[in-house]
Amino acid sequence: MSKFVKLKKGFNINLAGKAEEKIGEIQQPETFAVKPTDFQRITRPKLLVEEGASVKAGTPLFFDRLQENVMYTSPVSGEVVEIKRGEKRKLLEIKILADKKITHEQFTKFTVSEMSSLTKETATELLTKSGVWPNIVQRPFGSIADPTATPKAIFISAFDTNPLSPNYGILFKGQDQYFQAGIDVLKKFTPGVVHVNTNADAEVLPMFAHVKGAEVNKFSGPNPAGNVGVQIHHLDPINKGDLVWTVSPFGVIQIGKLFLEGIYDASKVIAVCGSEVSNPQYYSTYSGANVGRFIEGNLKSDHVRVISGNVLSGEAVGKDGFLGFFANQVTVIPEGDKEEFLGWILPTFNKLSFQRAFGLFANTKREFVLDTNTHGEQRSFVQSGNLEKVLPMDIYVTYLMKAILAEDYDDMEALGIYEVIEEDLALCEFVDVSKNDIQKILRQGLDLIQYS
Amino acid sequence: MKFLQDFFDKLKPFVEKGGKYEKYHTLYEGHRTIVFAPDLTTGKKGSQVKDAVDLKRMMFTVIIAMIPCLLFGMWNVGHQHFLATGADAELIDKILIGALKVVPIIIVSYAVGLGVEFVFCVIRQHPVSEGFLVTGLLIPLVMPATIPLWQVALATVFAVVIGKEAFGGTGMNILNVALVARAFLYFAYPTAISGEVWTYLGDAAPVAAYSGATPLAIAASTVGNPGATPVVDLLNDSWSAGIYDFWNMFLGIMPGSIGETSTLMCLIGAAILVLTGVGSWKIIVAVFAGAYSMGLIFNLVGLNEFMLMPAQYHWVIGGLAFGAVFMATDPVTASQTETGKWIYGFLIGLLTVLIRVFNPAYPEGIMLAILLMNVFAPLIDYYVVQANKKRRLQRATV
């Protein structure tokens, strides 16, 4: 049964620099990178290539020793030019200098009719060896799905309510048949339902609205209504012992393309946006692209932060960094590393605040230029109830945080830690008066539960 | 503001790690962050932008909300002085007398309180927190104008050390710090904070028939006194015509602690707190509702004239409104869950009236009611959170 869920809690952050709805012409970036750090739980990656090796799109680069059959493959064809390591030789980036013309590893192709007789085993094998599998994220914990597990349901959020989120109509234009094929494959993995959750407050793309074999639900409300974690909470919540999978629409399309075309196609459309971008618009590129090309000569100022993903749960990658595996936007905002005379008290119409404390007179609906300043120092949790006001879930975030800090396993479980990953509490981190690193604390808690 | 920045930059080497005055680093940071909002930026991962509000601004909002009470209180101290001594006076005279009594108390409270905070910051190397910004003004507002300054100082030291720092500082305390100061005086120096201390007379002699009794004391005097006149009549027959009339008490033109006599000013403060989202309207409404309900129950029981006093009188006599708006809503010591806030506030109102009627020694009930509920707030939250856990468990299939 399809459901309609109306959410009241939340907060839309309206940032300046929305991408103009066109795909810009640009020379492809020269380098691309796969970052093991994009994936939760990769603890012991085993490299399969050396510097200088030539690869095709879909050639395995490494795997995690904990899940030996899941390959992480190259998004483009070219030469491995650098393997970057961090402290204790932690594998950070595998950089590939791309060919002018991308060639692909050829995998088995299926016709639409053949797909119906496809077995789960064949599908698993193809998905894991081609590099498409990491699109499937498992909850609890948000790690890459275990191919031997059976999820109780699969959830796909077909919209994004995060700041400056890209328009899915542009991102996935003309990919309808691949999305359908992806759903057909995913259905084989769960005895339960495949949920496709759409936005009740906007036009829904036909590929989502008319998808077959999945349940199409509607969600209405402010951010984080588009977060798959929030949707799961209202459709079929995760209890202790439960396992569900989530896949982004891009992931579903990539799965579909693998079966219909026989290739690992990492090409994607991304939005380059944010107040500091001169011409915010969309570009067509590949997963893991170097962001330099998109922002070169395209910035209004020099002192900026380049973020792979959105401003709430993204990662600062620097001007020469690489797009994250799951990201479909690059956001550029000003750095806020400057002191402000009496900044904590002067009345202003220019600062965005979910709260309405004295002097914050701005209309929260208009567009804002936000920088990276924390606007205050870290304190103990003082204000009560404001974290809960922006999370449309029956979870006492403050108590969950305190349980994690106290390393109280029973309380963490009882207070719902299995239901959330970082992105779900990102807005809580934004509004927190005491400036705590909520997402970081949550990951500490998830790690504690998972590994001890 | 470059010169200020330069000034702080010049000091920096001395207080940095390895500097001569390294241990005063937190003090330095504390002062610098008051002049300049810090240049801290968000981490590499996680939320890259943050809400413009911080604890300083939040606390400052509470101070703004208290200003109507403070200004009115200053005027009222002067007004009551001239009323009791029978002298004619202009508005400015009243304000001057009021300021003369009130400002020193505020200065002592802030100076002593911040002094203690700074000492603890240096000893324990924790950042200077904003909590005392509010406490520093709350303490004077709940004192009588006649309080000796050394007692204010002593009470402030006790409140900050025992009421807050002993628990780990702002955010960790169990009891409302300003109320700890008042409770300390109540138990240590009862004669200075109860009885007929509420009007500042100075050297002048009071007018004939003057009585410094507060409406609560008048109401309490009917308890254990069968055949007493109804409280409302007693109040109306007070030494100064109309002083304890319902609407006059609502406006707050009567003797009492400096800032807490006026229900109207408290309601203006409440409006500021609620509109800015800093104070919980649930707690405020619940306190008033609790007091009214208990008042009604007592009306039904009707064992004495105090019980028979119309329930709405409980809203305007004593410090109920001030306590409800500025003390009960303290986010650190109040219930933290939304359901809990209703229960917490309601019980404060209920207990306040209960204590008023049953405790002849100390007719003001709101202080003890809030302190008592401060202690129970975590228990209320515990059960609310427990209910959430139970919901979660019920839904589980394994």
Cβ-contact B78, B90 below 8 angstroms: no
Q: What is the mean pLDDT of chain B?
A: 92
User: Residue A362: how many CB atoms within 10 A of its CB?
Assistant: 15
Say if residue B317's pLDDT is above 80.
yes
pLDDT, mean of residues A431-443 = 95
pLDDT band at B392 (very low <50, low <70, confident <90, very high): confident
B397 by Cβ neighbours in 10 Å (0-12 / 13-18 / 19+) ranks as exposed
Confidence of residue B193 (pLDDT cuts 50, 70, 90): confident
Q: Which residue of B has its CA nearest to A358?
A: B61
Instruction: Report the distance separating Cα B283 and Cα A184, nearest Å.
Output: 53
Instruction: Please check the confidence at residue B395 and state whether its pLDDT lies above 80.
Output: no
Residues 429-448 of A with CB under 8 A from B: 429-435, 437-440
The distance of B298 to chain A (nearest Cα, Å) reads 34
Token pair listed for A337: 């590393």
pLDDT of the residue at B362: 76
- Which residue, A381, A383, A373, is CA-closest to A351? A373
Chain A hits for B64, Cβ within 8 Å:
358
Residue A441 confidence (pLDDT) above 50: yes
Terminal Cα distance for chain A, rounded: 39
Whole-number Å distance between alpha carbons of A266 and A440: 29
Task: Tell me the nearest-neighbour CA distance from B332 into chain A, angstroms.
Answer: 6
Do the Cβ atoms of B316 and B249 come closer than 8 Å?
A: yes
Q: What is the pLDDT of residues A22-73, one digit of tens each?
A: 999 999 999 999 999 999 878 889 999 999 999 999 999 999 999 999 999 9
Q: Which residue of A has its CA nearest to B4?
A: A341
Closest chain B C-alpha to A401 CA, distance in angstroms:
13
A-B contacts at Cβ under 8 angstroms: 222
Name the token pair of B363: 């007719």
All residues of chain B having their beta carbon less than 8 Å from the beta carbon of residue A375 are 37, 50-54
A351/B contact by beta carbon, under 8 A = yes
pLDDT at B244: 92
Nearest to A418 by CA among B386, B392, B387, B337: B392
Q: Is A367 on the interface with B (CB under 8 A)?
A: no
- Does B395 sit within 8 Å of A440, measured CB to CB? no
Which of B2, B12, B28, B42 to mutate against chain A (most A CBs within 10 Å)? B42
Which residues pair with residue A156 across a beta bridge? A196
Q: Over the stretch B339-384, which tens digit does the pLDDT of each residue have?
A: 999 999 999 999 999 999 998 777 788 999 999 999 999 999 999 9
Residue A69: count of CB within 10 angstroms of its CB: 14
Name which of B50, B277, B334 is nearest A430 (Cβ-Cβ): B50
pLDDT above 80: residue B321? yes
Question: What residues form DSSP beta bridges with A283?
Answer: A24, A270
Q: What is the mean pLDDT of residues A178-198?
A: 96
Strand order in the sheet with A45-47: A45-47, A60-64, A67-73
Are B61 and A357 an interchain contact pair (Cβ–Cβ within 8 Å)?
Answer: yes
pLDDT > 90 in chain A, percent = 91
Say whether pLDDT at B391 is over 80.
Answer: yes
First to last CA, chain B: 63
Taking the whole predicted model, whether its pTM rises above 0.95 is answered as no
pLDDT tens for A62-90 read 999 999 999 999 999 999 999 999 999 99
pLDDT category at A349 given cuts 50, 70, 90 is very high
Which pLDDT belongs to residue B194?
82
Q: Is the pLDDT of residue B62 over 60?
A: yes
pLDDT of residue B397: 53
B39·A373 Cβ contact <8 A: yes
CA distance B386 to B398: 19
- Top residue of A13, A329, A375 to mutate, by most chain B CBs within 10 Å, is A375
Query: CB-based burial of residue B3 (10 Å sphere; 0-12 exposed, 13-18 middle, 19+ buried)?
Result: exposed
Q: What pLDDT digit, counting tens, does each position of B38-52 carry?
A: 999 999 999 999 999
Check B38 against A374: CB less than 8 A apart: yes
Question: In b/e form, how buried is each residue of A234-262, taking b as 16+ CB within 10 angstroms?
Answer: bbbbbbbebbbbbbbbbbbbbbbbbbbbb
Segment A100-111 mean pLDDT: 94
pLDDT of the residue at A31: 96
CB proximity A377 to B under 8 Å: yes
Evaluate if residue B398 carries a pLDDT over 60. Answer: no
* Residue A44 contacts residue A8 (beta carbons within 8 Å): no
Q: How far is B2 from chain A (nearest CA, A)?
A: 10
Mean per-residue pLDDT of chain A: 94
* Strands (DSSP E) found in A13-148: 20-24, 31-34, 45-47, 54-55, 60-64, 67-73, 78-85, 91-98, 137-139, 143-144
What is the chain B residue with the closest CA to A346? B57
The pLDDT assigned to B361 comes to 74
Closest residue by Cα to residue A187 from A116, A261, A253, A114:
A116
Choice between B229 and A316, residue whose per-residue pLDDT is larger: A316
pLDDT band of residue B222 (cuts 50, 70, 90) is confident
Q: What pLDDT shows up at residue B182?
A: 94
User: Model confidence at B226, in pLDDT bands (50, 70, 90)?
Assistant: confident
Residue B136 binned pLDDT confidence (cut-offs 50, 70, 90) = very high
Q: What local confidence, expressed as pLDDT, does residue B170 receive? A: 85
Q: Which residue has the higher pLDDT, B99 or B204?
A: B99
Residue A229 banded pLDDT, cuts 50, 70, 90: very high
Amino acid at A14: N
Q: Which whole number is the average pLDDT over B215-240?
A: 87
More confident call, B18 vs A368: A368
Which residues lie closer than 8 Å to A105 by C-beta, 6 or more apart? A56, A57, A58, A59, A73, A130, A263, A264
SS (H, E, C) A227-290: CHHHHHHHHCCCCCCCCEEECCHHHHHHHHHHHHHCCCCCEEEEEEECCCECCCEEEEEECCEE
Question: What is the average pLDDT across A6-25?
Answer: 95
Q: Tell me the pLDDT band of B242, cut-offs 50, 70 and 90.
A: confident
Which of 287-346 (A) contact B at CB < 8 A?
305, 307, 311-316, 331, 333, 335-345
Which of A1-10, A397-406, B216-225 shows the lowest per-residue confidence on average (mean pLDDT)?
A: B216-225
Predicted pLDDT of residue A240:
87
Task: State the average pLDDT over residues A409-428.
Answer: 95
- Is A382 an interface residue toward B (CB < 8 Å)? yes
Task: Find residues 88-147 of chain A whose CB sits inside 8 Å of chain B.
Answer: none
**Contact indicator for B130, B88 with CB cutoff of 8 Å:** no
Q: Is A448 exposed, middle or buried (0-12, 13-18, 19+ CB in 10 A)?
A: middle
Q: How many CB atoms lie within 10 A of CB A78?
A: 22
Q: Looking at the predicted structure, is the pLDDT value of residue B269 above 90?
A: yes
